[in-house]
Amino acid sequence: MDGKYLSLTSYKRDGSPVATPLWFVQDGSRLFVSTGRDSAKVRRIGRNPVVSVTPCTASGRVRGEPAPAHARIATDEEARRAEELMARKYRVDRVVILPVYRLVQRLRGTPVGGDSVVLAIDPGP
């Protein structure tokens, strides 16, 4: 998958979809994203690992057709590999964009930082 952003759609208990734009990296056919351990998407994926992924813009506007996939929390080894790939792919973004994003979160009163988790996303229904 090309681009910097991936729209990850997970599903609520009632089946309604929730899409979130995220930075991602690809390792073979597997995709990896990093997110807050306490995020709602992690809870949704814990209940239902079925997701869909679509290339998108930073604002979440999709740029392609959704593909079915399954998500899970990555193993420690996968998480280390994903972090290496993320550091390489988003080297400049981590210095420029991430601090601005965290500042906006603070201004909104949203918790900043905390524990993160890497999600492994495998293609297929």
Q: What is the pLDDT of residue 114?
A: 63
Number of domains in the chain: 1
Mean pLDDT (10-residue bins), the chain, 125 residues: 94 97 96 92 97 95 96 97 93 75 74 80 92
Please tell me whether residue 13 adopts helix, strand or coil conformation: coil
Q: Which residues contact 46 (CB under 8 A, 6 or more apart)?
A: none
Q: What is the pLDDT of residue 79?
A: 96
Enclosing domain of residue 30: 5-123
In which residue are the tokens 């293609």 written?
Answer: 123
CATH classification at residue 110: 2.30.110.10
pTM over 0.75, yes/no: yes
Q: What is the pLDDT of residue 112?
A: 62
Task: Tell me the CB-side half-sphere exposure of residue 99, using CA atoms within 13 A.
Answer: 4
DSSP helix, strand, coil percent of the chain (3-state; round to 5): 30, 40, 30
Question: What does the alpha-carbon distance between residue 6 and residue 55 come to, in Å, rounded to a whole number?
Answer: 5
